[in-house]
Amino acid sequence: MENTGNLTMEQQDRERRLRWFRQARFGMFIHWGLYSQLGRHEWVMNRERIPAAEYEKLADSWKPRPHAAREWAKLAKEVGMRYMVMTTKHHEGFCLFDSQLTDYNAVKRGPGRDLVAEYVEAARSEGLRVGFYYSMMDWRHPDGVQCKRDEAARRRFVDYIHGQVRELCTNYGKLDIMWYDVSWPLDVDEWESAKMNAMVRQLQPDIIINDRSQLPEDFGTPEQHITPAKDGRAWEACMTFNESWGYTPIDAKFKTAWDVVSMLRQVAAGGGNLLLNIGPSPEGDAPPICVEELQKVGAWLQRYGPAIYEATDPMEQEWQITGAFTRKGDRVYFHCNRWPGSELAIGGLRNRVLSAHLFNGPAVRFTQQSDRLVLTGLPTEAPDPLATVIELQVEGEPRHVLGTGYRLLDEDT
């Protein structure tokens, strides 16, 4: 949504703050906390009903090595990510930042230092935008449940949460994203979310805020699925690498570079972002499989980046087993991630094709009869097994329509 002509002042300011985000496409999510020591998902305290006194011992046994965040930030930059979002406090209630509102924090306990400050320094040193994840739900705070039943408890808990958000927006310099999470058990009025976010914007005038304080704010956050927002609203799909957000080595089925490239094509086609998570070990190691697969993605983006970062124009399209499109103006990019061999047939493209090239490469021979495009003389093996991008220049508004029958109803002649 670039045209600011018919936007309200508020919408124009939102678009001003969102400009970098709409171009970012790819970010790194980091889930790191006491739960990382147990290695059984970030919900382990809740799922295993670990007694609070037993769980709290993790606050003193956690000894992450210094500046692990520099490794994550370097990796993120290397592989084409343009921002990072890290947990400052997850549901367990342990703060990775120096809070004056609780001693259950990384400075006062095991780590003995401000892990959020290290993360911010690392991300900025790589020129990456900085996001803070902050869980409003808090399993440790004594009023975290009672707040729903008792006004005095609600007052204390809301003041605590607002107070910590204020600390985060005050003590770490310029922030780019406030990424709230899980606002159980209160509703938007009980949380006083509008007041909290007004405070955030007063402290951080350029910040963007996600939709998880029960207000829509600046962008949507489909989780574990890629569902573009409607009406041009900004959005970002957050996805795990395996099935867990926190470090969980027993959850060993990780997405491959092929999966990540496919997700990047999907978010680009929908005009959104992919926030891909890594759950570092308690010491701070990114899982090696994530590093390996991300480096393959980075190499792919080096070659095909514009077909992802810039090709976000909307285009009507249907599924095709050999690949899918992104679009920029009169160029459509067919991301072929299942290579059929020396001939590739694409049905349903409703436009006259003026030229075809391997992306930044040689022209490709093609024939076109009605909505059957056949590209020939291709390499028998996929030039790039993650996805080989073919650039088509087309006439008119690109449309890819196949329907369920062999022909569309209005074409059945």
Measured distance CA(286)–CA(289) in Å, rounded: 8
- Does residue 42 touch ligand JFZ according to CB under 6 A? yes
- Does residue 44 touch ligand JFZ according to CB under 6 A? no
Query: Which strands sit side by side in the sheet containing 365-369, from one edge to the other?
Result: 344-347, 372-376, 365-369
Q: Backbone phi, then psi, for 220, in 5-degree steps? A: -90, 160
Taking the complex as a whole, the smallest distance from the CB of residue 224 to ligand JFZ amounts, in Å, to: 8
Q: Which amino acid belongs to residue 221?
A: T
Taking the complex as a whole, the smallest distance from the CB of residue 168 to ligand JFZ amounts, in Å, to: 16
**Contact with ligand JFZ (CB under 6 A) among 52, 152, 182, 198:** 182
- Does residue 238 touch ligand JFZ according to CB under 6 A? yes
Taking the complex as a whole, the smallest distance from the CB of residue 132 to ligand JFZ amounts, in Å, to: 13
- By beta-carbon proximity to ligand JFZ, the closer residue of 152 and 182 is 182
- Does residue 324 touch ligand JFZ according to CB under 6 A? no
Number of residues that bind ligand JFZ (CB under 6 A): 7
Put residue 144 in one of left, alpha, beta given phi > 0 → left and psi -120 to 50 → alpha.
alpha
Measured distance CA(175)–CA(32) in Å, rounded: 19
Burial readout 72-88 (b: 16 or more C-beta within 10 A, e: otherwise): bbebbbebbbbbbbbbb
Which residues within the stretch 270-309 sit at the binding site for ligand JFZ (CB under 6 A)?
A: none
- Does residue 181 touch ligand JFZ according to CB under 6 A? yes
Measured distance CA(132)–CA(168) in Å, rounded: 8
- By beta-carbon proximity to ligand JFZ, the closer residue of 14 and 31 is 31
- Does residue 389 touch ligand JFZ according to CB under 6 A? no
Residue among 12, 24, 59 at smallest CA distance from 276? 24
Which residues within the stretch 215-234 sit at the binding site for ligand JFZ (CB under 6 A)?
A: 223
Task: Name residue 310's beta-bridge partners.
Answer: none
**Contact with ligand JFZ (CB under 6 A) among 119, 134, 160, 245:** 245
Measured distance CA(79)–CA(85) in Å, rounded: 16
Taking the complex as a whole, the smallest distance from the CB of residue 144 to ligand JFZ amounts, in Å, to: 14
Taking the complex as a whole, the smallest distance from the CB of residue 205 to ligand JFZ amounts, in Å, to: 26
* Residues near ligand JFZ, by CB under 6 A: 42-43, 181-182, 223, 238, 245
